[in-house]
Structure 1
Amino acid sequence: MTEAAHVAGAEAPQRPVDVDVIILSLDRAADTVAAIASARLQRGVAKHVWIVDQGSRPDALAAIAQAVDGAPDATLVRLDRNHGVAGGRNRATALGRAPVVFALDNDAEFATPDTLWQAATALDEAPDIAAVACRILVHSTAEDDLSSWGFPRSLLPRAAECFDVATFVGAGHALRRADFEAAGAYDEALFFTWEEFDLSLRLIKMGRRIRYRGDVAIRHKVSAEHRFAWSGTRWHHFVRNRLYLEMKHGASPATLLPRFLAYQLRGARNGVLAQGLKAGPAALSMARRFRPPAGTAHLYAASPAARDYLARTDAAHRGGALARLRGEVLGALPAAARGPR
């Protein structure tokens, strides 16, 4: 089997589109079918929905295929294996040609029928915005999904507002394709966790902004049993990837020692110390192997403008050393993301 094989739906869009919606699937057929339906019902903008399956069981794949059978505005493609979040999104994005790419988790839905139009319009109106970070709501309550709040907690009272941020949350976001490609796409070595922040750093070094839009929302089905357990591999990937991306953006291993030790303290307090200890050597190995994609080496060098942007949009909202120690080192890992033990 080749890396990607067409399964159901249109083989290509039948008309030019403004937005490619990408959805990664891996089982969870009912949720994925609902996500597809939500995307296809979006109005006000020409779109095509690309569903990229990364290894669903045959029954789940059949149910997803049925949802797009004969659809002119949706395509289901199956990959040869699970390439992770970063690799899967890269492959899904490459299937389309629209100037805007909206990534929707397969356990999420658009909050309103014109959410996609709102996101595309936000990019059209501001050429220096490379990504729109959506507000993530709990599907069942429409309250803010705290497990998907990817910004300083002090900004949470402003969740309904709009402001510049340092990253975006993967559950629902829009990217300008030209900027995504110029930045070198996602780093597939990350597999999952921190892939959005890594890409955001490169976009920011390109002089672009990441804009959080509290008026552009998706509804997320927060389900602990469907998340990677902290007691499995999630904490390992979390620590490994964070250290790795710092090193590939110029930090020396020695300067990262305090961060590494802080992670070990938090891991010990949460029963996942072994994962964190193994993450350090793994990050060093990844950093030694890393080579910037052609034409992107400058996006990994120090940038005073990027440092200023990050200070204004992120560090300024995180509080003093004591507050960060309590919240980011001594705190419990998010309960909603623990999964079964």
Structure 2
Amino acid sequence: MSLPAYPRPEHVAGALAPAQPAYDADVIILALDRAEDTIAAIASARAQTGVASHVWIADQGSRPENLRLLAQAVEGAPDATLVRLDRNWGVAGGRNRATALGTGRCIFALDNDAEFARADTLAAAVHALDAEPDLAAIACRILVHATGRDDLSSWGYPASLLPRAAESFDTVTFVGAGHAIRRSDFEAAGGYDDALFFCWEEFDFALRAINMGKRIRYRGDIAVRHKVSGEQRFAWSGTRWFHFVRNRLYIALKYGAAAPGLLPRFLAYQLKGARNGVLAQGLRAGPAALRLARAFRPRPEEAALYHLTPAARDYLARNDAAHRGGLSRRIRAELLAALPGAGPR
């Protein structure tokens, strides 16, 4: 399996192609305004040592003045390329299109408000993937840029594992702010699902990788520094909650869950949404998830990836459910978090 043949985006600035045909890693950065932060992310990526890499910046609709600033940052650079996509494809679709531009055996996605924690972080991620062929992805530790403390809003793992943030363990997902994926596994799993736009796209990919017999490894010694405060990141406005609920339900349906069985989770989400003033978003998300699931048609060669094997289910149980206490306990926690007096989570 391979990624679709996306139309070549418009070249804006930087190299027309990587300096060498074979190299270790592509660093992909999605841009949508926030020029100052994005330029810092680009500089951090270009400063990585001990590894042959190319930096791809895919702009998804920045204002002209911000696009000019990004172009100036990579003008004449032999190791970086700025392209402009035809529209905003979201995180999932944008990463797919940026990834398709390169050929490095490792793909490192870096948020445009993040930076590598050390000059050898990228090299460490590439080495980690090379050292363990059954790893599909490396989940980085995400630190608050200003303090160096763990970014709690980017902790995408069971809360019981937070004391092990500096350690390493197998997991069932990774956080988008900073992660590395083996290109061959990314292509074999079909990349991200464009329909997700943003939220849960990493978990959806990870499920397919795990179903292929691969592992996802959290590495507390491989870190990026994130400029969004862990206490302020989740916004209960716009459409973020809609995408959160819709995408999680859609993913469950994709992998064979029956719609009636998702009702307790859906109701828990509605209680939480009501507590935080976004009930309408959550209510719209249910029908939207059903529509996406009905429209989902995997290619014949992909169909088996959406039927979890016994080995995949065992992996999920050992590396996620065992740390969360089972579905009923998780739903009770969601319900309690939605009650008056409980803050947003």
What is the TM-score when the length of structure 1 is the normalising length?
A: 0.94
Correspondent of 2:312 among 306, 310, 314: 306
Correspondent of 1:162 among 159, 162, 168: 168
CA deviation profile, 1:175-203 (whole Å, cap 9, x unmatched): 00000001011000000001000000000
Correspondent of 2:121 among 93, 115, 126: 115
CA contact (8 A) 1:265 1:330 kept: no
Given the superposition, is the C-alpha separation of residues 321 and 51 from structure 1 closer, same or farther in structure 2, using an over 3 Å criterion? Answer: closer
Given the superposition, is the C-alpha separation of residues 257 and 72 from structure 1 closer, same or farther in structure 2, using an over 3 Å criterion? Answer: same
Deviation at 1:295, TM superposition (A): 1.5
RMSD of Structure 2 on Structure 1 (CA): 1.9
Residue 238 of structure 1 aligns to which amino acid in structure 2? F
User: Counterpart of 2:70 in 1: which secondary structure?
Assistant: helix
Q: Corresponding residue for 2:94?
A: 88
The worse-fitting range, judged by mean Cα deviation, of 267-276 and 161-170 is: 267-276
Residue 127 of structure 1 aligns to which amino acid in structure 2? P
Q: Corresponding residue for 1:72?
A: 78
Given the superposition, is the C-alpha separation of residues 210 and 107 from structure 1 closer, same or farther in structure 2, using an over 3 Å criterion? Answer: same
Correspondent of 1:54 among 47, 52, 60: 60
Q: Corresponding residue for 2:243?
A: 237
The aligned runs of 1:1-341 (5 Å cut-off) are 4-15=9-20, 16-222=22-228, 229-319=235-325, 324-325=330-331, 327-331=333-337
Structure 1 gap segments, 5+ residues each: none
User: Counterpart of 2:247 in 1: which secondary structure?
Assistant: helix
User: Counterpart of 2:180 in 1: which secondary structure?
Assistant: strand
CA contact (8 A) 1:32 1:107 kept: yes
CA deviation profile, 1:99-148 (whole Å, cap 9, x unmatched): 10000000000000000000000000000000000000000000000000
* Whole-angstrom CA distance in 2 between matches of 1:88 and 1:67: 20
* Whole-angstrom CA distance in 2 between matches of 1:203 and 1:320: 22
User: Counterpart of 1:130 in 2: which secondary structure?
Assistant: strand
CA contact (8 A) 2:11 2:83 kept: yes
CA contact (8 A) 1:9 1:71 kept: yes
* Whole-angstrom CA distance in 2 between matches of 1:329 and 1:21: 39
Residue 249 of structure 2 aligns to which amino acid in structure 1? L
Deviation at 1:296, TM superposition (A): 1.1
Given the superposition, is the C-alpha separation of residues 20 and 3 from structure 1 closer, same or farther in structure 2, using an over 3 Å criterion? Answer: closer
Structure 2 gap segments, 5+ residues each: 1-6
Deviation at 1:277, TM superposition (A): 0.8
Residue 82 of structure 1 aligns to which amino acid in structure 2? N
CA contact (8 A) 2:272 2:337 kept: yes
CA deviation profile, 1:228-285 (whole Å, cap 9, x unmatched): 7322111111111111010011111111111111111111122111111111111101
Residue correspondences, number: 335
* Whole-angstrom CA distance in 2 between matches of 1:105 and 1:194: 15
User: Counterpart of 2:239 in 1: which secondary structure?
Assistant: helix
Once the two structures are aligned, what percentage of the paired residues are identical? 72
CA contact (8 A) 2:212 2:305 kept: yes
CA deviation profile, 1:41-76 (whole Å, cap 9, x unmatched): 000000000000000001111111100000000000
* Whole-angstrom CA distance in 2 between matches of 1:278 and 1:194: 18
* Whole-angstrom CA distance in 2 between matches of 1:232 and 1:171: 20
Deviation at 1:324, TM superposition (A): 2.9
Given the superposition, is the C-alpha separation of residues 239 and 118 from structure 1 closer, same or farther in structure 2, using an over 3 Å criterion? Answer: same
User: Counterpart of 1:134 in 2: which secondary structure?
Assistant: strand
* Whole-angstrom CA distance in 2 between matches of 1:12 and 1:329: 51
User: Counterpart of 2:305 in 1: which secondary structure?
Assistant: helix
CA contact (8 A) 2:265 2:331 kept: no
The worse-fitting range, judged by mean Cα deviation, of 82-91 and 256-265 is: 256-265
